[in-house]
Amino acid sequence: MTPFTNEAAFATAFKARFGNLDDEASAQVELAKLCTDKSLREKCTAAEFSALFKGLADRSGYGDLELRNKYLSGIPSRVYRKIELEMFTTWEDADKRATEVEQQLDISQACRPELNSFFSARG
């Protein structure tokens, strides 16, 4: 004897209490793919990566430490090199700093167009 009238009622109550476990596992797999995609890492901005990361992070079930480490492993290299020695408690803290650093890098690059053309010409 169970308190549920049928299997569907049980599944609904289970998901309401514990969430969709398949969704959590799926988010973890997608998050792992996102954070290890080297071509994406160099093509997207920190803000673009954060937008992709957030939805998966919210559904992943991972704690702050795991999410912080995964976030840092996936942001663009040029940004990571500037913040790798800083300490962050959460991925959101790292995201805020990565966005600031990326803006500073973009500003300094825009202010030195002669160096940009010099280095790109050297190939």
Whether pTM exceeds 0.75:
no
The answer to whether 75 and 109 have CB atoms below 8 angstroms apart is no
The answer to whether 60 and 26 have CB atoms below 8 angstroms apart is no
The rounded distance, in Å, linking the Cα atoms of 113 and 120 is 10
Q: Give the CA distances from residue 62 to residues 32, 49, 67, 69, 109, in Å, rounded to whole numbers and listed in that order.
A: 12, 18, 6, 11, 36
From first to last of the 123 residues of the chain, give the pLDDT tens digit. Answer: 567 777 777 777 776 666 666 789 999 999 999 999 999 888 999 999 999 999 999 999 999 999 999 999 999 999 999 999 999 999 999 999 999 999 999 888 777 666 555 555 555
| Domain boundaries along the sequence of the chain | 11-122
